[in-house]
């Protein structure tokens, strides 16, 4: 029997993995993929909480509606983000974090 806790542990691990990737990786595209993973972890948490919270015999849909918004927003974010990363590649011929270290002081 899969309970709410199983879902929460998996989504927590997914979130932690994404965060670790953002901190540890040097390639901006991989960092971006890790960010998407964090959003998916949040979505999984929302769906799990929503499914296990039964109101009048039906799951509570308030949280599931947020999941749809999150997916849409993530798509918009990817569209804008990849455009900026492509612009960076054109300017520097690299998408490593070492290529964005000019601003300091």
Least distance in angstroms from the C-beta of 56 to other proteins: 13
| Dist CA 39 CA 29 (whole Å) | 16
* Among 75, 46, 79, 80, residue whose Cα is nearest residue 63: 46
Q: Which is nearer to other proteins, 1 or 69 (CB)?
A: 69
**Distance in Å, CB of 4 to other proteins, minimum:** 9
The least CB distance from residue 3 to other proteins, in Å, is: 14
User: Given the rule CB under 8 A, which residues bind other proteins?
Assistant: 8, 15, 18, 22, 28, 31-32, 35, 38-39, 41-43, 45-46, 49-50, 53, 60, 62-63, 65-66, 69-70, 73, 76-77, 80-81, 84-85, 87-88, 91-92, 100, 102-105
SS3 content of the chain, % helix, strand, coil (to 5): 75, 5, 20
Q: Please state the φ and ψ torsions of residue 27, each to the nearest 5 degrees.
A: -90, 125
């Amino acid at each position: 029997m899969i309970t709410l806790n199983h879902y929460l542990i998996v989504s927590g691990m997914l979130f932690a993995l994404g965060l670790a990737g953002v901190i540890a990786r040097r390639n901006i595209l991989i960092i971006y993929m890790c960010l998407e993973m964090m959003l998916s972890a949040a979505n999984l948490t929302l769906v799990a909480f929503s499914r296990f919270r039964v109101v009048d015999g039906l799951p509570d849909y308030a949280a599931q509606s947020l999941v749809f918004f999150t997916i849409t927003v993530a798509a918009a974010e990817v569209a804008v983000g990849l455009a900026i990363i492509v612009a960076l590649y054109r300017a520097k011929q690299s998408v490593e974090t070492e290529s964005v270290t000019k601003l300091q002081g």
